[in-house]
Structure 1
């Protein structure tokens, strides 16, 4: 006879309700880690997918993803002349609002250096990459745009030729990519009144042709050339070079550093709550079985079956809670405003955490059971 199963059957309703509470707490913790992974995946998508080995950015800044960066477009020609550079592409990034089918959508606009960069690295779900330097765009499907739609960007008209999925910026907003000349036209567009006032005041009116770009993406002929290329470009003074890994590090531990800490702390609190719930439940169930435990000791039962009973109950509680979290997660996560990413190793990590918490929670019950005396059966 399995004492743990028998006791669970006797208190099945309370056991299942407690398991539901543990499962919901674990679900919240999993959701928080999934949210963090999703934010990181969205924020680093452009850095990772573009395949650039090095990023040439404005001196004194940390790149367009962490802060503003503006460099002269003529930097491209200088970069291409550096020994070891196989290819180089201009890149722009700006936040803006889009008017799509009568709705205002916030997102980011990036400029691709056509024909060197047609956007083939963007995760397309439908359509194609850019086939012209003007008048074409690739958009994330969450914008609500469809293939063939014409997007009016302050007078710059572009036709959507490709749709991507999970092509988002660090804020979770959709991204629209178009040729860099179109992007610079949008970037420098000013209302007619502002242009007239600037001309009357004798101030230059910036156009897309003379505008600066945010960065130059560099593809190396060989990874071994990275150090030499960096030394040459760093001597120019107006720009600096960062590797793709450095861009990732700056973004993760700089801009996302505080968010990372908040999510980890919140997850730790939720796991602590789960541990407390399991410990209190097992402790209470043990208190209610003092008479039965005393009877077992009176008839000469060793401590092994008693310890096994308590430990099995704690593990069963954790398994039920974990199963509930796994079942509810895929049903709830698609409804979150931000994308949640759950790597397989996270499920294994939470399984190990649940087992550990169950073991720790069972210790309180075991400690109390060991204090029960056989003579208490007569009380």
Structure 2
């Protein structure tokens, strides 16, 4: 006869409600973890998809993903003149707002240096990559755009030739990839009213195409000394070079550092509350059966039998709650405004954490059970 099962059956309703509560808290903890990893995956997707060895950016900045970076387009030819550079690509990144089927969409506009970069690393769900240096675009599916749609930005008409999946920035905004020439035209566009006002007031209109790319992406020849090329570029003075790994670190430990701290703290609080709920539930269940525990001790039951009963109940609470959380996460994740990214290692890590919480939560009930004397059965 399993004493833990018998005791659970006696208080099945309360045990079930506790399992549901634990399951919801664990589901929230898993969701917070998946949310952060989804934000990181979206944020780093541009860097990862670029497959660049070096990012040449404005001196004194940390790159286009951390702050504004504007460099002269002549940096492209200077970079190509370096001995160990195989390819160099212009790159732009800017925020745009436009209307799609009557709905206002804010997106990040990425400029690709066609034909060197056709966006071939962008994960498409429909359509194709860029085949022309003008008037073509690849848009994330969350924009509501479809292949064949026409998108007008400024005075530039873009035909959507590809639709991507999970092509978003760290803010969760969809991204739209166009050729760098189109991106510069869109960036330089000024409303007619602004032009008229500038003329009427006599203000000088400064051309905006001389220093408006965000970075130059370099791919080195096989066997090239990465640090040596980086040092050469850094000596130019107006720009600096960062490796892809350095650009990732700047983003993760710069812009996302506070967000990560908030999510870790919130997740830790939820897990502590889960442990407290398990501890209080088991302690209450132990208090209700002190007479039975005393009777067990009177008939010669060893302490390990009582400890095993409480531990089994605790683990049953955690296991059922964790199972509920693991089953519900895939069901509710489509309703989240951001993508959730959870791997098998995340589920295994949470399983270990839940097991530890169950053991810690059972200690309070075990301590009270060990204080029971066999003679108390007569009281």
Matched, 1:213 2:248: no
Matched, 1:96 2:96: yes
Q: Is contact 2:70–2:211 with CA below 8 Å preserved after alignment?
A: no
Task: Identify the residue that residue 136 of structure 1 maps to in structure 2.
Answer: 136
Name the structure 2 match of 1:18. 18
Partner of 2:283: 283
Runs of 4+ off more than 4 Å:
none
Q: Quick one: distance in 1 between partners of 2:99 and 2:179?
A: 19
2:341 corresponding residue in structure 1: 341
For structure 2, the 5+ residue unaligned runs are none
**Farther-moved stretch of structure 1 (141-150 vs 198-207):** 198-207
Match of 1:32 in 2: 32
CA contact (8 A) 1:79 1:88 kept: yes
Quickly say closer, same or farther: Cα 1:223–1:362, change in 2 above 3 A. farther
Residue in 1 that maps onto 2:5:
5
TM-score, normalised on structure 2? 0.98
Structure 2: how far apart are the matches of 1:298 and 1:248? 65
How many angstroms does 1:375 deviate by?
0.7
Mean alpha-carbon deviation: is it higher for 192-201 or for 299-308? 192-201
Question: 2: CA distance between counterparts of 1:283 and 1:223?
Answer: 65
Tell me how far apart the structure 2 counterparts of residues 147 and 211 of structure 1 sit (CA, whole Å).
32
> Cα–Cα, structure 1 residues 223 and 38, in superposed 2: closer, same or farther, change >3 Å?
farther
Q: How far does the alpha carbon of each residue in 1:225-279 deviate from its partner, in whole angstroms, 9 at most, with x for none? A: 2111111111100000011111111111110110000000000000000000000
Match of 1:258, SS state, is helix
CA distance in structure 2 between the aligned counterparts of 1:30 and 1:302, rounded to whole angstroms: 39
| Cross-structure match for 2:205 | 204
Q: CA deviation at 1:60?
A: 0.3
Tell me by how many angstroms 1:198 deviates: 3.5
d(CA) in 2 for partners of 1:288 and 1:128?
Answer: 67
Match for residue 248 of structure 1? 248
Q: Structure 1, unaligned stretches of length 5 or more? A: none
Equivalent pair of 1:198/1:205 in contact (CA under 8 Å): no
Report 1:186-335 matches (<5 A): 186-199=186-199, 201=202, 203-206=204-207, 208=209, 210-222=210-222, 224-335=224-335
Q: Which whole-Å CA distance do the structure 2 matches of 1:204 and 1:235 have between them?
A: 33
Q: Secondary structure at the residue paired with 1:5?
A: helix
Shift in Å at residue 199 of structure 1? 4.6
1:197 deviates by 3.8
Corresponding residue of 1:123: 123
Would you say how many aligned residue pairs link Structure 1 and Structure 2? Answer: 378
Shift of 1:154: 1.4
Three-state SS of the structure 2 residue aligned to 1:52 is: coil
SS across alignment from 2:300? coil
Cα pair distance change 1:307/1:224, threshold 3 Å: farther
Residue 55 of structure 1: aligned partner: 55
Distance 1:69 1:132, change over 3 A: same
- Alpha-carbon shift at residue 195 of structure 1 (Å): 2.2
Deviation at 1:196, TM superposition (A): 3.4
197-206 or 173-182: bigger deviation? 197-206
Tell me if structure 1 keeps the 8 A contact 2:136–2:158.
yes
Shift in Å, 1:211: 4.7
* Aligned counterparts of 2:357 and 2:87: Cα–Cα separation in 1: 53
Cα displacement (A) at 1:307: 0.6
Q: Which residue of 2 aligns with 1:106?
A: 106
1:223 offset after TM fit, Å? Answer: 5.8
